[in-house]
Structures are given as structure tokens and as C-alpha cells.
Amino acid sequence: MKNKLTAVLLALTAAGICLAQGHNGPGAAMTGSALNMAGVQTVSGTVSAVNFGFGMQYPSIMIGKIQIKVAPVWYLLDKNFEIKAGDALKVVAAPSNLAADPYLYAVEITNAATKLSIVLRDASGVPLWTNGHAPGGPNADGGCLEGAAATLTSGTVEQISSGLGIQMPTLTLKTAEGKLLTFKLGPERVLLDSDLEIKPGDLVTIKYAVASCSEELVALSVTNAAGTTLVLRDDNDKPAWR
């Protein structure tokens, strides 16, 4: 039987959200026929909130007073695209054709700081996570680690914590020299499904690289004291969990 992650991860709010919005989870996607693609508009500004108030459906973000539905959490994280309050985004969005639906629906999102983009719906408004299309956008899979040198470091796990908004959990490591390093991991569902058990106090070795667009330390793999390794990404930031 696979080991379960410690209650530290099980208690994470984002873990519950991601598991609830799994690939086969409930929540109908807004199809092209229900979106007014002729009314596409661009909304730019700072994210003031990330909302998960639509039951089992995908979350929304607030930019100014405009509320925009995005995509399932699992899809965004599978494409290495994170959103949190304070991010400066440019969102191409379309309104619904349904009179009772006042929301905009994101077609493409670009992070102004990292220059990363993700296309969520095709030209007819059909969600890309429902029809098997490859994600659009030149940077939808990240690409911030391309050409970055991988480094190995070891130490003791200080904490594992969830980021606010739509983000991957992070692991803080204390090295033998007493230095604290924080690494971005992978989606909670991947960690929970793995045979790698991680908890504060564990000795682990992390292979990582520095993201050029955000200067984050991004974990490529994590190995525990028993020699079990969880591979998260290759050297070009392509997720290994797909």
C-alpha cells in the first residue's frame, strides 16, 4: 500500500481543492456555444482575490471589480501556471451568452512579471482541458528552467506549506550550514499519490534549478533517507506527472 503524506499535507486547503477538482470531478465546463466569442475583451490589472466559491467548478479571480472564471486548479498546475493575489495579469476573456451568467471566462492569461502565458480555450471558446487539445501559448509549460544548471542539496525538512491562491506547495529545507532554502514542489495530488513520505525533521536530498523568470528554487526531484525518489520535472521544467 502506498504511503500517505503526513497530515501536514493532508491538512492543506489547496490539497482539498485540487483533489475535489480532479480530472474526472464534477462541474460542467463552459463550452464554445455558451460563450460570446465576438465579445472577447482584455482585462489587465492586479489580482485582488482568488475565489473558490463555485462549488466543485473552477475558481475565479478578481481584477479590480471584474470577476473572471479561469480553469480547474489541476489544469493550471499541470501547465505550471500559478495565480495568487498581487499578480499582475493580462486576461483575454469572453462573456457568457446566458443571460443569467454575468461572469467573464478566461481565454488566455499572461503574467506580466514572468511573461508566462496559458491558453485555456480555443477560438470557439471550447475549454482545452476537455477536448484533448495541447495547451496554446508559447510559455504554457513554464520554460523558466530551460538551460538552467541543476544543483543537488541535502538537509532537514523544516516545513511543507501551501501557497495562497492557485499555487504548488513549497518545502523549506535547513542545510547542514544552517541555511534555509525554500523550493517549489508539484501539485498536491502528485505528492499524495507518491510513495515518497515527507514530514518536518526528515532528511532529504533535492535536485533543483533556479527559475530565470521568478528566481524561485524549483525542485526537479526529491529523495528521502530511504532512497525513494520522486521526480517532479526534467531540466527544462516539463512536469513529469503528466
- Percent of the chain exceeding pLDDT 90 equals 50
> How far is it, in rounded angstroms, from Cα 54 to Cα 149?
41
Could you tell me if residue 130 is inside a domain? no
Same domain, 158 and 87: no
177-217: pLDDT as tens digits: 999 999 999 888 888 888 888 899 999 999 999 988 888 89
Looking from the CA of 31 toward its CB, the CA atoms found within 13 Å total 4
Looking at residue 187, which CATH number applies to its domain? 2.40.50.140
Residue 47 has pLDDT above 70, yes or no: yes
> How far is it, in rounded angstroms, from Cα 36 to Cα 102?
12
Same domain, 70 and 115: yes
- Percent of the chain exceeding pLDDT 70 equals 78
Total tally of structural domains belonging to the chain: 2
Same domain, 113 and 38: yes
Same domain, 31 and 91: yes
Q: Region 115-120: what's the mean pLDDT?
A: 93
Same domain, 93 and 44: yes
Same domain, 92 and 179: no
Same domain, 111 and 155: no
Which has the closest alpha carbon to 102: 112, 110, 94, 91? 94
Which residue, 119, 134, 153, sits at the end of a domain?
A: 119
> Are 198 and 165 a contacting pair, CB within 8 Å?
no
Q: Parallel, antiparallel, or unpaired: how do β-strands 66-69 and 104-111 relate?
A: parallel
In single-letter form, the type of residue at position 42 comes to: T
Instruction: State the CB neighbour count (10 A cutoff) for residue 20.
Output: 16
Report pLDDT for 146. 73
Same domain, 22 and 105: yes
> Are 12 and 68 a contacting pair, CB within 8 Å?
no
Which set of grid coordinates corresponds to residue 214? 521568478
In single-letter form, the type of residue at position 10 comes to: L
Same domain, 150 and 227: yes
Looking at residue 72, which CATH number applies to its domain? 2.40.50
* H or E element at residue 76: helix 73-78
Same domain, 187 and 99: no
> Are 191 and 5 a contacting pair, CB within 8 Å?
yes
63-111: pLDDT as tens digits: 999 999 999 988 898 888 999 999 999 999 999 998 888 899 999 999 9
> How far is it, in rounded angstroms, from Cα 96 to Cα 124?
12
Same domain, 21 and 82: yes
Range of the domain at 98: 17-119
Which set of grid coordinates corresponds to residue 217? 528554487
Q: How far is CA 163 from the centre of its chain?
A: 10
Report pLDDT for 180. 97
| Residue with the three cell numbers 510559455 | 139
Same domain, 179 and 90: no
To the nearest 10°, report the CA torsion of 98, 100, 104, 106. Answer: -60
